[in-house]
């Protein structure tokens, strides 16, 4: 009896040790790229693969108006294809905006894309003050978890809040959990594959710009993902968010945003630090920076205007950019950016960027 109990204890321990080792495989980029989850992960993985093509392009087109876009999902639609044919010959736009991205992610990318032998000529930096919210709980995930690497977390740990470091450590200790694997998504994608969806080839990529692909197991693979192929073709831009939310729905969704984010807003000194370092890198590399506050719906803009901390933060951002030789613009105050088609409470419809993109390029110093 005693030998049997010991045997089962050893089997259990060996099984746990095996599971622990297997779990760590999900930290490898090669493995993670075949378990892409719905949401922001696809953007961060695509941006990581886009770094080297951008650096080669910047060196090969050093005399061109190579323009780097950094920001969050509110600037996804800033891209080359939003320009007319004449302007497309003048500008080379690459979009590295990330979902829920914060200044720490912009700084991470600035070190790789601007602080190089062949920096871009211009930087369009779309940052809304609410991305400086210390209580937003997005530093550890998705930013550190999906957007950066372990070296960045180690080098900048003195500028990362302790709670974010602990949460990030959990995503490494339990890798599959940190990946956010969804069994419900797996079932949906499996059903899509069994029903014959997701078999579209490269000839369908242009149609995917305007229409999301059907669920299928192909969406797990970064290599075969139609989402990734579209992002590659558009140099990181995304035009899928097209439509107009009703004003009543905008009010209700804005109310929830205010309750969740603005009611407990606290300025993060760490993000102010990363923002300052980003514009300093741009200045040192001779890159001209245009900081812009993305346009938001009138109900959310009213909440921003009535929030003293956000207004003070925006002024501080403008001062930091001006000191670095750049300029700034609030799209909420510009007539040429006064598009009123809002996809949801946080995002403009992509159709608005047909006017906003050339307007911002004209504003570059």
pLDDT band at 197 (very low <50, low <70, confident <90, very high): low
Nearest to 304 by CA among 288, 315, 291: 315
pLDDT band at 201 (very low <50, low <70, confident <90, very high): very low
pLDDT at 101: 96
**136 and 279 belong to one structural domain:** yes
**65 and 46 belong to one structural domain:** yes
- Summarize the confidence of residues 104-114 as an average pLDDT: 98
Unique residue bearing structure tokens 């095996």: 18
pLDDT at 210 over 50: no
Q: Are 175 and 305 in contact (CB under 8 A)?
A: no
pLDDT at 45 over 70: yes
Q: How far from the centroid of its chain's Cα atoms is residue 59's Cα?
A: 24
pLDDT at 204 over 60: no
SS3 content of the chain, % helix, strand, coil (to 5): 60, 10, 30
Helix (H) or strand (E) holding 314: helix 308-323
**15 and 116 belong to one structural domain:** no
Neighbouring residues of 125: CB distance < 8 A, sequence distance ≥ 6: 70, 71, 106, 278, 279, 289, 290, 291, 292, 321
**120 and 149 belong to one structural domain:** yes
Dist. CA 30–CA 27, nearest whole Å: 9
**12 and 139 belong to one structural domain:** no
**22 and 171 belong to one structural domain:** no
**215 and 354 belong to one structural domain:** yes
**271 and 346 belong to one structural domain:** yes
pTM of the shown model: 0.91
The total number of structural domains in the chain stands at 2
How many C-beta atoms surround the C-beta of residue 16 within 10 A? 10
**11 and 136 belong to one structural domain:** no
Dist. CA 9–CA 17, nearest whole Å: 12
Of all residues in the chain, the percent with pLDDT exceeding 70 is 90
**21 and 91 belong to one structural domain:** no
**99 and 12 belong to one structural domain:** no
**165 and 54 belong to one structural domain:** yes
Domain span including residue 206: 33-363
Least-confidence region, from 32-46, 69-83, 181-195: 181-195
């Amino acid at each position: 009896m005693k030998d049997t109990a010991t045997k089962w204890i050893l089997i259990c321990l060996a099984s746990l040790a095996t599971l622990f080792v297997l779990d760590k495989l999900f930290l490898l980029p090669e493995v993670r790229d075949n378990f892409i989850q719905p949401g922001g992960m696809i953007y961060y993985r695509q941006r990581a693969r886009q770094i080297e093509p951008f650096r080669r392009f910047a060196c090969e087109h050093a005399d061109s108006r190579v323009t780097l876009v950094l920001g969050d999902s509110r600037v996804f639609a800033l891209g080359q294809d939003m320009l007319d044919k004449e302007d497309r010959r003048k500008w080379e736009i690459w979009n590295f905006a990330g979902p829920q991205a914060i200044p720490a992610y912009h700084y991470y990318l600035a070190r790789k894309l601007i602080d190089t032998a062949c920096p871009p000529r211009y930087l369009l930096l779309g940052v809304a003050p609410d991305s400086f919210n210390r209580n937003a709980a997005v530093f550890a995930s998705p930013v550190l978890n999906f957007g950066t690497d372990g070296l960045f977390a180690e080098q900048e740990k003195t500028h990362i809040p302790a709670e974010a470091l602990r949460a990030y450590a959990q995503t490494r200790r339990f890798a599959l959990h940190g990946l956010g694997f969804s069994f419900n998504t797996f079932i949906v994608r499996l059903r899509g594959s069994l029903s014959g969806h997701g078999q579209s080839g490269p000839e369908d990529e242009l149609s995917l710009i305007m229409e999301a692909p059907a669920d299928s197991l192909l969406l797990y693979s970064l290599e075969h993902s139609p989402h990734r192929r579209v992002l590659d073709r558009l140099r990181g831009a995304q035009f899928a968010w097209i439509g107009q939310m009703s004003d009543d729905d905008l009010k209700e969704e804005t109310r929830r945003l205010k309750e969740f984010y603005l009611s407990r807003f606290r300025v993060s000194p760490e993000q102010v630090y990363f923002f300052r370092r980003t514009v300093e890198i741009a200045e040192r590399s001779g890159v001209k920076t245009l900081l812009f506050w993305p346009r938001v719906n009138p109900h959310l803009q009213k909440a921003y205007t009535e929030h003293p901390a956000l207004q003070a933060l925006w002024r501080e951002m403008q001062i930091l950019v001006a000191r670095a030789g750049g300029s700034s613009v609030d799209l909420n105050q510009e007539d040429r950016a006064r598009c009123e088609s809002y996809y949801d409470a946080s995002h403009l419809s992509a159709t608005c960027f047909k006017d906003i993109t050339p307007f911002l390029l004209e504003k570059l110093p």
